[in-house]
A and B are shown apart, each in its own frame.
Chain A
Amino acid sequence: MLQSSAIPILKIGDFLLVSIQYDIHDKIAELLQQDILKRISETQAKGVLVDISALETVDSFIARSLADTAAMASILDAELIIVGMSPTVATTLTELGLTMAGVRAAVNLDEGYDLLKASLGQRVVDRRNR
């Protein structure tokens, strides 16, 4: 049995960076979810960027796995952003009937990083004003 997805999860400051570089099957998607949550817990990361720009096909399983991971990350006080979904994949997911509601997205890593920094800054401000 595989214990890990073997997909690298890199730490930069308060954030984690995950880049899915190949077409993953269901088991790898499940393991990746576990790996990301474990790394959030270990590193106390406040944000996660998941780059899916290399994925040519995102079906309902992968989409749900990503959405679930985002929801679970949020419970661990980390914000997850999906980065680089291709317009073709977005079109197909919508036609398939998936809205990915509640999942934040950015067109590229720069935008995703800025989004995370902005939202982390906002959280610090919110706490100070409490």
Chain B
Amino acid sequence: MEVIPIKEESDIVRARVAAKDMAQKMGFGLVDQTRISTAVSELARNVFVYAREGQVHLEVLNNPHNGIRITFIDQGPGIPDIDLAMKDGWSSSGSMGKGLPGAKRLMNRLEVKSEAGKGTTVIIEKWLS
């Protein structure tokens, strides 16, 4: 597993480049590599914007799906209403509100766990074939 700390804006770029490299090595095609790096960029930015810092974990999935799993972990304020946060265009930070719903469309799986005041964990997966 590869861990990328998110502490400053340039770490968002580091995270998406690392995810793209890993996806490429695993045999994902160019469009899927771009989907993965874009989803990582959106979600790593959420970590930076809402929690100021956190971590991105990249790992290879084997069972039941072959693919990549990326986990975003922060100890920020949490998401009060996950259903609302999954809606297109909803944002509490003045952004476009494409992060979570957009990342969900780009990936095969997206799961959000969040507790007010404790932090947020977002898991995304992209499967090979």
Which residues on A sit within 8 Å (CB–CB) of B7?
none
B95 contacts A57, CB within 8 Å? no
B31 contacts A26, CB within 8 Å? no
A98 CB within 8 Å of chain B:
yes
When C-beta atoms are compared, the residue in chain B nearest to A94 turns out to be B105
Which of A9-17, A36-44, A85-93, A114-122 lines the interface with chain B? A85-93
B13 CB within 8 Å of chain A:
yes
A89 contacts B105, CB within 8 Å? no
B102 contacts A96, CB within 8 Å? yes
Within B1-41, the residues touching A (CB, 8 Å) are 9-10, 12-13, 16-17, 20, 30-31, 34-35, 37-38, 41
A60 contacts B105, CB within 8 Å? no
In the complex, how many residues of chain A place their beta carbon closer than 8 angstroms to a beta carbon of chain B? 21
Interface SS majority for chain B? helix
Q: A33-56, CB under 8 A of B: which get 1 and which 0?
A: 000000000000000000000001
Which residues on A sit within 8 Å (CB–CB) of B41?
57, 59, 61
Which residues on A sit within 8 Å (CB–CB) of B101?
97
B88 CB within 8 Å of chain A:
yes
Contact of B30 among A27, A88, A96 (CB under 8 A): A88
Which residues on A sit within 8 Å (CB–CB) of B99?
60
The 7 closest A-B pairs by CB, nearest first: A96-B102, A59-B41, A60-B98, A57-B37, A88-B34, A25-B9, A25-B13
Residues of A within 8 A of B (CB): 23-27, 56-61, 64, 88-89, 91-93, 95-98
Residues of B within 8 A of A (CB): 9-10, 12-13, 16-17, 20, 30-31, 34-35, 37-38, 41-42, 45, 88, 95-96, 98-99, 101-103, 105-106
